[in-house]
Chains A and B, each alone.
Chain A
Amino acid sequence: MGVFHTALIAIEKAVKIPLFGCRMCGQCILHSTGLVCPMNCPKNLRNGPCGGVLVDGHCEVKPEMRCVWVRAYEGSQRLPVWKDHLTHLQPPVDWRLQGTSSWANLASGRDRRVPAGWGAADGAGSSQEPGVRA
């Protein structure tokens, strides 16, 4: 990793950790999650809340914390754009990118590379209509 990358990571951390509690997963989807970092979910959920959200909207694992996905849902409803992004299927996390700069990965397209069996980068990839089989 060159000096440029090291500097980029330092800047990204300085900006995104205080603002969003960023975990530097290297494949940022903040704009799709109401500007709430999903990696703060103790279950690393990328596609919405688990079934264990407490009645008061707090996290079952860390009851002192409001559920990341309750906040993400509220946040997405407040955003003027990207509201519908919460409905997108987000691919599995590529753990190799942990600690790298999501900005660099965005620029290079590295963060959109998904396993061949996942399908297209922005969806589940559908070789057939999802859901009910004939």
Chain B
Amino acid sequence: MTRAAAPRSRLETILRAGRFAVTAEMQPSNGADPEEVRRYAAELRGKVDAANCTDNPAAHPHLSALAAGAFVAQAGVEPVVQLACRDRNRLALQADLLGAAALGARNVLLLTGDDVSAGDHPEAKPLFDIDSIHLLRIARGLRDEGTYLSGRALSSRPSFFIGAVENPFAPPHDFRPTRLAKKIEAGAEFIQTQLCFNFPRLVEFMKRCRELGLLERVFVLVSVYVARSARAMRYLRDVVPGIDVPDEILARLEKATPGRQAEEGFRLALETVGALRETPGVSGIHLISIKGQEAILRLIEAAGLLPRPEA
């Protein structure tokens, strides 16, 4: 059995060195032109430690995460290739895990995925053959045991830094740390959380994770959103499931005049990043913005997170 000759991912190296990591969600591509992906990746080069290539985000089809990951890597940015259980059964997921590795992905993020009803093809058949915890276990099996779920041997093993997601802000809140423990047991080595607007809730979650001894076993990257307007924030609260936007956060944006809301949203994100850097157990941030990556780039700069460390 040979192991794919692959060094540790840049993201893993930075996290294990105890450096504060910065990842960002890359703009998904709606076309077949690789130049579009390379252009998004080039914007992020040198500014983030890794860029997430999403897998049909919000159940809307886009250029595949595997393909995007390959172009992102070519453009000199390390991809985090996301795979969701919504659109593929266990055979296809394993095929894509190997495919992602062969195309150069060193980080994968494995999740259940939004339901098809959230997207623009609500009539589609949702797969959900396995859940995210099964997929984490399968990825660990491919890497550490060199076998498919069936037990059949691989000819060479992938080398992954295995990621998962968790939502500290959704009910049942008391169970969320336990769910993270299950993900760690299944194979998760880092997590990216759902968007953080309810900071006290995050602190509570981290405290419980520490008590359970989880923070020695997993790196936690907290997601920060750069809101462009009160309307965008209200949309997140009312339309996107699982996002907890406290009233005072929305009120803060609404108080600003429409012309100043983008600035207020930016300031809110900057304050959140500052607070997260001071929160014990938080290993990094994951930045998300809708429609354009400029706000993310500005935030990284304003927060003093440049230059990124060598890995």
Which residues in A have some Cβ–Cβ distance to B below 8 Å? 42-57, 60-61, 67, 69-70, 73-74, 86-87, 89-93, 95, 115-119, 123-124, 126-128, 130-133
Q: Given A46-B131, A52-B242, decide whether A117 and B149 contact each other with a Cβ distance below 8 A.
A: yes
Given known pairs A92-B90, A92-B130, the reply for A51 and B170 (CB within 8 Å) is yes
What's the interface size class on B, roughly?
35 or more
Residues of B within 8 Å of A119, CB to CB, are: 137
Q: Contact: B131 with A43, CB < 8 Å?
A: yes
Identify A54's interface contact among B85, B129, B182, B241, CB under 8 A.
B241
> A70, B134: Cβ atoms under 8 Å?
no
Q: Which of A48, A92, A93 contacts B149 (CB 8 A)?
A: A92
Min CB gap A95→B, angstroms: 7
Are B131 and A47 closer than 8 Å at their CB atoms?
yes
CB distance from A26 to the nearest CB of B (A): 16
B138-146, B293-301, B302-310 - interface stretch: B138-146
Residue of A nearest to B118 (CB): A60
Q: Which one of B35-43, B172-180, B259-267 is at the A interface?
A: B172-180
Tell me whether B131 and A53 are in contact (CB under 8 A): no
**Residues of chain A within 8 A of B144, CB atoms compared:** 127-128
Interchain CB contact under 8 A, B150 and A116 = yes
14 pairs, CB–CB < 8 Å, chain A vs chain B: A43-B115, A46-B133, A47-B182, A49-B179, A51-B170, A54-B171, A54-B242, A56-B171, A70-B171, A73-B175, A117-B151, A124-B187, A130-B217, A132-B218
Asked if B30 lies at the interface with its beta carbon under 8 angstroms from chain A, I say no
- Whether a CB of chain A sits under 8 angstroms from the CB of B120 is no
C-alpha gap A126/B185 in the complex (Å): 9
